[in-house]
Amino acid sequence: MVILANCEGLTGMPAARDALEAGRSVLDVVEQGVRAVEADPRVHSVGRGGHPNLLGEVECDAALMDGATRMVGAVGALSGYLHAVSVARELLQRLPHAFLVGAGAARFAAEVGAEPAEMLTPEARGTHERWLAEHLTPEQRERLGQGPLAPHAWRSSQTLISRGTVVVLARNARGEFAVGTSTSGWARKYPGRIGDTAVVGAGFYVDDRYGACACTHSGEMILRAGTSRAVVLAMQRGATMEEACADAIGDLARLRGGYLGPVLIHTLDRHGRAHVVSTHDYGDRFAACLWREGSLEIERVRPCVLATPGGGAT
Ligand code: ASP
């Protein structure tokens, strides 16, 4: 039994571990791990307390994938509900679809009795208002809802602090895997922007036969490269997890144009071995969390750095 989460997932590790030890399904395990982070207002990139979009609204993306069936539930740009990941779980179980966004996702959340919540905390509102005051003129702030937003979206994408996600990957004693993800996306993103986190094949992918993968940070790059699917497919074709991640990072480094930034890849192979790689060296700042059966401790895993600034993914 093993659970791998990214650094934001630390808060959720005890809930995920308890669910795994209690013999609950792997989907339950990753959902419980993600829910704890969504409810934690100190994590400013996930759920309540997350950074809002340019218009001051918190829009969440979340997903779950089951490695045995490869069923997916995903929601994007969901506002007003505490646990986007649980709305994604309901979707996986109740609908013939895999992905709902915006008003349709909110409608479905209401239909299944998801918990409504005010997602914008006073702290996140304060950070947002300070950023607007520092970067926009009083006239631009006044007309923010009516005028063009695109120039502000570029400006706000430049600071690393404005990102983050929770990803939780789990494997039980029977070798069954699941992945769960959730994010409020980039701070001050363009309204309606959906990154990689809720997009199957980009932000996450899992197949019990080969292993699991989930990515964080520059969602636009991960979307363009289809990174999580690429890693699992490489393992399907016989690559080791380390080779699969190295190939995926090499592919990301060859992207040109558009938004380029850092990417982290979190992987479990089919034996439950873990590997975390990063395009940039942040030391322990984005160290992942790893728990294995029989361990009393949650181990921190420092990502291996596989590309350096200047290699495309800057
Ligand atoms: N990948 C997330 C997104 O693009 C953000 C992050 O993980 O930093 O929304």
Q: What is the 3-state secondary structure (H, E, C) of the chain?
A: CEEEECHHHHHHHHHHHHHHHCCCCHHHHHHHHHHHHHCCCCCCCCCCCCCCCCCCCCCEEEEEEECCCCCEEEEEEECCECCHHHHHHHHHHHCCCCEEEHHHHHHHHHHCCCCECCCCCHHHHHHHHHHHHHHCCHHHHHCCCCCCCHHHHHHHCCCHHHCCCEEEEEECCCCCEEEEEEECCCCCCCCCCCCCCCCECCCEEEECCCEEEEEEECHHHHHHHCHHHHHHHHHHCCCCHHHHHHHHHHHHHCCCCCCCCCEEEEEEECCCCEEEEECCCCCCCCCEEEEECCCCCCEEECCEECCCCCCCCC
User: Do residues 66 and 178 lie in contact, with contact meaning Cβ atoms separated by under 8 Å?
Assistant: yes
Does the structure show a pLDDT above 60 at 177?
yes
Judge whether residue 160 has pLDDT over 60: no
CB 96 within 8 A of CB 108: no
Nearest 5°: the CA angle 30, 124, 110 is 55
Supply angle C-alpha 155, 52, 146, rounded to 5. 70
Cα–Cα distances in Å, from 287 out to 169, 197, 254, 277? 15, 19, 25, 10
Q: Is the Cβ atom of 181 under 6 angstroms away from ligand 1?
A: no
Residue 47 — φ and ψ, nearest 5°? Answer: 55, -145
d(Cα 304, Cα 256) in Å, to the nearest integer? 23
Output the CA 259–ligand 1 centroid distance in Å: 13
Residue 233 reports pLDDT greater than 60: yes
What domains can you pick out in the chain, each with its CATH number? 2-309 (3.60.20.30)
Q: What's the pLDDT at 313? A: 41
Residue 5's DSSP bridge partners are 168, 289
Nearest to 163 by CA among 76, 86, 261, 229: 261
Q: Is the minimum distance from the CB of 266 to ligand 1 under 6 angstroms?
A: no
What pLDDT score does 308 carry? 59
pLDDT grade, residue 311 (50/70/90)? very low
Is the CB of 197 within 6 Å of ligand 1? Answer: yes
Please give the number of the atom of ligand 1 that sits closest to the Cα of 183: 9
Q: Which of 165, 183, 227, 267 is catalytic?
A: 165
> Cβ contacts of residue 46 below 8 Å, gap of 6+?
8, 37, 38, 40, 60, 164, 165, 166, 182, 183, 184
The atom of ligand 1 lying closest to the CA of 220 is 4
Indicate if 165 belongs to the active site: yes
Which residue owns the Cα nearest ligand 1 atom 4?
A: 219
The mean pLDDT value for 221-248 works out to: 98
Q: What's the pLDDT score for residue 161?
A: 56
Would the pLDDT of 121 be above 80? Answer: yes
pLDDT of 151: 83
| Mutation choice for ligand 1 from 61, 183, 220, CB with most ligand atoms inside 8 A | 183
pLDDT of 97 strictly over 50: yes
Cβ 165 under 6 angstroms from ligand 1: yes
**Closest residue CA from atom 9 of ligand 1:** 185
C-alpha 84/C-alpha 74 separation (Å) is: 9
Task: Give the alpha-carbon dihedral of 281, 283, 289, 294, to 10 degrees.
Answer: 120
Compute the average pLDDT of residues 8-23.
Answer: 96
Q: Is 173 exposed, middle or buried (0-12, 13-18, 19+ CB in 10 A)?
A: exposed
The pLDDT > 90 percentage for the chain reads 84
Query: pLDDT, tens digit, for every residue of 29-79?
Result: 999 999 999 999 999 899 999 999 999 999 999 999 999 999 999 999 999
